Amino acid sequence: MFEVANDDVDLIILDDPITSFDKNKKFAVTKRLFDKKEFSFKNKTVLMLTHDLQPVIDYVQGKF
């Protein structure tokens, strides 16, 4: 997933990238994707498809 951060593309589509991880790993990946201090995809549009919204909700609500 993070290899594409260095590619010269404007749009990155992630198809359920956190599905097989435990709760802590899911949050770590979510934070890495969206935290401005650790943002891997700066100046890129990221479309993340997932069935597990809880890590995203927890991140937005600052629960971790």
Q: Spell out the per-residue pLDDT of the chain, length 64, in tens.
A: 666 666 778 888 889 888 889 988 888 888 877 776 766 677 788 888 988 888 888 878 887 6
Task: Write down the pLDDT at residue 42.
Answer: 73
Query: Structurally, how many domains does the chain consist of?
Result: 1
Which residue range forms the structural domain that includes residue 53?
2-60
Task: Write down the pLDDT at residue 6.
Answer: 65
CB proximity list for 55: less than 8 A, separation 6 or greater: 18, 23, 26, 27, 29, 30
Task: Write down the pLDDT at residue 64.
Answer: 66
**Which structure tokens are listed for 8?**
């010269």
DSSP structural state of residue 4: G
Task: Write down the pLDDT at residue 32.
Answer: 79
**Which structure tokens are listed for 46?**
């990221």
Task: Write down the pLDDT at residue 41.
Answer: 72
